[in-house]
């Protein structure tokens, strides 16, 4: 029996109701709809089960892959050998803490979190409503849109280390910068985050959410699988404009294409592979660098590569 089979057996002994799948396609769990099979995929149902999984893997010296909503991930075509913990179903819950603060478990979608704030007459998360993915992923990468960023409203985050210990990071200790946070340099996973918001009439908050949603639908290829913005904003200019100016709208490699609607998105037209996406990313970088002298940095996370670092 290999180590992963042994892990599966141990977990099923501890909590027989676990959902654990062997050779589960990653493409079913990423917004890009790309990725081969994971050797083992584990779906804990609550924080207690999640803690048990993490501690067991730590004892067995198995380093897990952590997958939340899968909205900013490019999973490898060959899949992954090892164990993937899917956290989004285990980390569900929203709480109103006081008149201006809410707490969101990391598995909550940004859309539901923004609407929860609106129902409690709180403003500050309108920008996040249309960003795909979960609170945990958004905090991890300091997601932002339309002039707002997670760093503007996140005041405290609980983080679970891979040995199961829980730490709290407040204010500047969260280490937010453009599309990054302190959590990107840590081994573990985000449990929940507290947001400090501003009182505002629910109707006004909902109106702003609708306004931004209309702008997104008009400008972004929401009807096609993608991982959101493919490139980070360069120090000068905008990635989408630079890509458009390089004549790359509609450029296609295999099933992957630069969106005709928004040049900052790489979309899956059907049957795209990770190799297609990576080749297109490289082509866009080369063409934009040749034309404008700007080297675009990918915003999409190549899953698997960072796990080995």
User: Is 179 among the residues known to form the active site?
Assistant: yes
Contact 94, 115 (CB under 8 A): no
Of 71, 106, 226, 229, the active-site residue reads 229
Q: Find the DSSP H helices in 60-184.
A: 110-119, 135-141
- CA-wise closest residue to 38 among 46, 47, 28: 28
Distance separating alpha carbons of residues 94 and 279, to the nearest angstrom: 40
Query: Apex CA 279: angle with CA 132 and CA 141, to 5°?
Result: 30
Q: Which two tokens stand for residue 71?
A: 């909205």
User: Is 207 among the residues known to form the active site?
Assistant: no
- Under DSSP, the state recorded for 298 is B
**Helical packing angle, 110-119 and 202-219, nearest 10°:** 150
Contact 37, 86 (CB under 8 A): no
- Under DSSP, the state recorded for 207 is H
Q: H-helix or E-strand containing 242?
A: helix 239-245
- Under DSSP, the state recorded for 167 is E
Name 130's Cβ contacts closer than 8 Å, sequence gap at least 6: 110, 111, 145, 212, 213, 216
Q: H-helix or E-strand containing 292?
A: helix 274-292
User: Is 71 among the residues known to form the active site?
Assistant: no
Of 71, 158, 179, 194, the active-site residue reads 179
CA distances to 33, 294, 297 from 243, in Å: 24, 10, 12
Catalytic residue list: 179, 229, 299
């Amino acid at each position: 029996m290999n180590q992963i089979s042994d892990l599966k057996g141990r977990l099923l002994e501890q909590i027989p109701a676990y959902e654990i799948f062997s050779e589960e396609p990653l493409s079913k769990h990423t917004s890009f709809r790309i990725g081969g099979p994971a050797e083992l995929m584990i779906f804990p149902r609550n924080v207690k089960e999640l803690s048990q999984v993490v501690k067991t893997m730590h004892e067995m010296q198995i380093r897990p892959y952590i997958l939340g909503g899968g909205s900013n991930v490019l999973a490898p075509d060959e899949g992954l050998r090892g164990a993937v913990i899917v956290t989004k179903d285990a980390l569900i819950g929203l709480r109103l803490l006081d008149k201006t603060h809410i707490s969101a478990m990391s598995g909550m979608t940004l859309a539901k979190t923004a609407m929860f704030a609106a129902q409690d007459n709180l403003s500050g998360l309108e920008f996040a409503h249309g960003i795909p993915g979960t609170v945990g992923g958004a905090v991890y990468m300091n997601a932002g849109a339309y002039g707002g960023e997670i760093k503007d409203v996140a005041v405290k985050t609980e983080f679970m280390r891979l040995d199961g210990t829980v730490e709290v990071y407040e204010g500047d200790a969260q280490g937010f910068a453009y599309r990054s946070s302190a959590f990107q340099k840590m081994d573990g996973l985000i449990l929940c985050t507290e947001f400090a918001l501003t009182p505002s009439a629910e109707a006004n908050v909902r109106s702003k959410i609708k306004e931004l949603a209309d702008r997104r639908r008009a400008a972004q290829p929401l009807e096609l699988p993608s991982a959101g913005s493919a490139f980070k904003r360069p120090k000068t200019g905008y990635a989408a404009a630079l890509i458009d100016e390089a004549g790359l709208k509609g450029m296609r490699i295999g099933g992957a294409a630069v969106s005709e609607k928004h040049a900052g998105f790489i979309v899956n037209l059907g049957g795209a592979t990770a190799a297609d996406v990576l080749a297109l990313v490289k082509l866009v970088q080369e063409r934009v660098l040749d034309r404008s002298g700007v080297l675009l940095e990918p915003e999409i996370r190549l899953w698997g590569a960072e796990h080995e670092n």
